Amino acid sequence: MTASSIFPKNAILKEPRAFKTRKNRKNKERKPWHVLSAFSILLILIAILVITSWILNWANVHTNITTTTIDALGIYLKQNGTEVHILPGDSLFKEIFGDASLTNNQQQLNDLLHKWLGANRDYEFDRWDLRILSETTSVKIKALGVIDIFFAPIKGFVKQANIIIFVLIVGGFLFLVVQSKSLEGFSQGLIHKLKGKELWAIPPIMLFFSLCGTVEGLAEEALAFYAFSIPLMLIAGFDTMTGFLIVFLGAGIGVVGSTVVPFSIVPAINALNGASVDQGGPSNFITIGDGLVWRFITWFVVTSSAIGFVTWYAWRVKRHPDLSVTFKTATQDKKFFLANSYEKIKMDWRRKTTLAIFFLAYLIMLLYLINWDTLTGTNIMAKAGEKMNEKVPWLTAWIPGFGQGSLLEVSCFFLIGSIILGLINGLGEDKFIKEFMTGASDLLSVSLVIATASGIALVLEATYMQNLVLVGLENSIGSLNSNIGKLIILFLLFIPISIFIPSTSGFAVAIFPLLLNVVAVKDGNGEIIGAHDVLASGSVEAFVNANGFVNLWSPTSSLVLAGLAIARINYITYLKLMWKYFLALFALLILMLTFGGLIGGNIA
């Protein structure tokens, strides 16, 4: 038998297969490390909590819960400083509460009273005429089942329905804006107007992205901007790191200094308000206007620091290209990013109008969610809303006045804005629905995270483990005499939590209900009467600062790795350049928390 009969003609002889030795196995290419999604992390946390509930239940662990029985006799109001005692049989009681009785849900009574006081400013709330009977009982930690692990996110969907509706509609709105390329055209215009002085284009572009970050939490949407920011910076004589930082650090530092972001500030405020109502406190425990000045000052300071750092780095690279952290790959980067010239986007009337509507929508959201009547001590907005509903029902018979509504009403505004964008850009019904649904679907993962995070709070509540956590928080934080110390400890605690829960909305929904007793003011009977002027808004500030800070460098943040992959920059190279700035930013954030704590009620 010949070799030709064994091997077919023109066959290629392969090398003999090597035996799998220990050395071969070591040299075998390893799979890249996979970072779990926020949903997976949260679901695992729920599973851990359920298992913990079994262990504590089997160990016969008990905790004390206080059951409060309220025997309502009436209500005390003050009319121009004079105390007025109103009983259920009085006509004024009927005017305030209608058919509701003092045995109704406390939230319903508070909402009815708040609405009436908003329209009758000569009256102010003094106190309920109550007989409070408190009973403390010892209960055993309750164990949940395996199926409950998967039922918890579903219950979370129900509880957070208002926020989820808002997130989905905003997602559709943002996708329409991004698809119009109006934001890209706006940034390109700045570059071309500053031709020859490209270095001075960096501050306004970063300021623009920071504004997007502080107002709407620009995150995943920022990935679309690297495709033009990096080529533009290379053409201007800078490097890929400059193009990356303009977008990533610009938007990221805006998120660190969030002022009215609907995916972090609003869920945190809603979580505190919801927890307050659950414990018999006011439904308007905290508003988006609380701490707004503090958050704005912080945003301005940290944004200035980021712009200064990137401008300094770009200036250094422009003068000495060999000092670029990506100098070794500069030739390959230019070949890759400048192979095709970037698309020049013309800012026609459609894109200019789209940009105007984008900013107008967020301005309306900001103005609508701030409780102006509380800030001004008047009832102008409440009465204006009621008059609008009564006199102009063809416009709206449901939407209350500015500062009187919630995310549901704001969702309506963004839906209207989306339809207007569809008409302006001539999308037609089919294309509009397709793009709007695509944008909403992009944020389905965020909605899932919100629901699952809410499931964590529900598990803690149902098993009574929340009481154990509350006692721990109050003992570790609440016992401190210094408000500044409490805020700094919260900030430090929020950093590791943010690594495992990088989603701002998921963090807010899971953690803030547990902080209520730490940031609330209580009367002599232990009842919640309001928010601490520094700790309530300060906890929100510490949260957005810590979460935004972590998302600038943590490998659990998909935005860091995705952006670096687009820019063709190694993660270690990025950290080598940024670690000193991150340390300075860390110190700066603690300084701003200290500043707010010292000033107190004037800005908080």
Angstrom distance (rounded) from CA 539 to CA 532: 10
Backbone angles phi, psi at 450, to 5 degrees: -60, -45
Exposure of 415 by Cβ count < 10 A (0-12 exposed, 13-18 middle, 19+ buried)?
Answer: middle
Task: Describe the chain by its helix, strand, coil percentages, rounded to 5.
Answer: 65, 10, 25
Residue type for 346, please?
K
Token pair listed for 357:
């509507």
CB under 8 Å to 376, separation ≥6 — which residues? none
Residue type for 53, please?
S
Angstrom distance (rounded) from CA 347 to CA 360: 18
Token pair listed for 169:
């509609």
| Angle formed at CA 21 by CA 17 and CA 24, multiple of 5 degrees | 75
3-state SS class at 222: helix
Angstrom distance (rounded) from CA 27 to CA 20: 11
Backbone angles phi, psi at 45, to 5 degrees: -60, -40
Angstrom distance (rounded) from CA 580 to CA 120: 56
- The pLDDT assigned to 445 comes to 78
- The pLDDT assigned to 203 comes to 92
- The pLDDT assigned to 407 comes to 76
Query: What are the CA-CA distances from residue 12 to residues 18, 79, 336 (Å)?
Result: 18, 99, 36
Residue type for 97, please?
F
- Convert the pLDDT of each residue in 449-493 to its tens digit: 778 878 887 898 889 887 776 666 666 676 677 889 889 999 998
Strand order across the beta sheet in which 62-79 lies: 82-86, 62-79, 123-140
End-to-end alpha carbon distance in the chain:
93
Alpha-helix runs per DSSP H in 320-427: 330-337, 349-369, 372-376, 380-391, 407-424
| Radius of gyration for the alpha carbons in the chain, expressed in angstroms and rounded | 28
Angstrom distance (rounded) from CA 204 to CA 210: 10
pTM over 0.85: no
Exposure of 384 by Cβ count < 10 A (0-12 exposed, 13-18 middle, 19+ buried)?
Answer: middle
Contact 206, 310 (CB under 8 A): yes
SS (H, E, C) 137-148: EEEECCCCCHHH
3-state SS class at 128: strand
Domain ranges of the chain: 62-140, 167-373+403-599
- CA proximity to 276, closest of 70, 504, 519: 519
- The pLDDT assigned to 119 comes to 75
| Angle formed at CA 506 by CA 300 and CA 110, multiple of 5 degrees | 85
Token pair listed for 578:
């940024």
- CA proximity to 474, closest of 511, 532, 516, 508: 516
Backbone angles phi, psi at 134, to 5 degrees: -110, 135
Query: What are the CA-CA distances from residue 342 to residues 65, 226, 233, 235 (Å)?
Result: 63, 11, 11, 10
Angstrom distance (rounded) from CA 486 to CA 493: 10
Residue type for 131, please?
R
CA 458 to chain centre: 20
E-strand stretches of 437-522: 520-522
**Local structure of residue 474 (DSSP, 8 states):** I
* Neighbour count for residue 189 (Cβ, 10 Å): 13
CB under 8 Å to 223, separation ≥6 — which residues? 559, 562, 563, 566
Angstrom distance (rounded) from CA 432 to CA 525: 56
- The pLDDT assigned to 11 comes to 44
Token pair listed for 70:
């309220």
CA 119 to chain centre: 33
Backbone angles phi, psi at 557, to 5 degrees: -85, 110
Contact 517, 474 (CB under 8 A): yes
- The pLDDT assigned to 557 comes to 66
Dihedral angle sign, alpha carbons of residues 308, 314, 320, 323: positive
Give the side-chain half-sphere CA count within 13 A for 558: 12
Place of tokens 């721990």: 472
Angstrom distance (rounded) from CA 106 to CA 17: 76
* Burial state string for 30-67 with b = 16 or more CB within 10 A and e = fewer than 16: eeeeeeebbbebbbebbbebbebbeebbeeeeebeeee
CB under 8 Å to 447, separation ≥6 — which residues? 157, 164, 167, 168
* Neighbour count for residue 544 (Cβ, 10 Å): 27
Concatenating the DSSP letter of every residue in 56-107 gives HHHTT-EEEEEEEEEEEEEEEEEETTEEEEE-TTSHHHHHHHTT--TTS-HH
Angstrom distance (rounded) from CA 549 to CA 582: 8
* Neighbour count for residue 269 (Cβ, 10 Å): 24
- All residue ranges of the chain with pLDDT < 70 are 1-38, 66-73, 100-108, 110-111, 128-135, 187, 190-191, 194-196, 219-224, 227-228, 338-343, 366, 369-371, 373-377, 469-476, 478-479, 500-503, 556-558, 600-604
**Local structure of residue 205 (DSSP, 8 states):** H
Contact 588, 596 (CB under 8 A): no
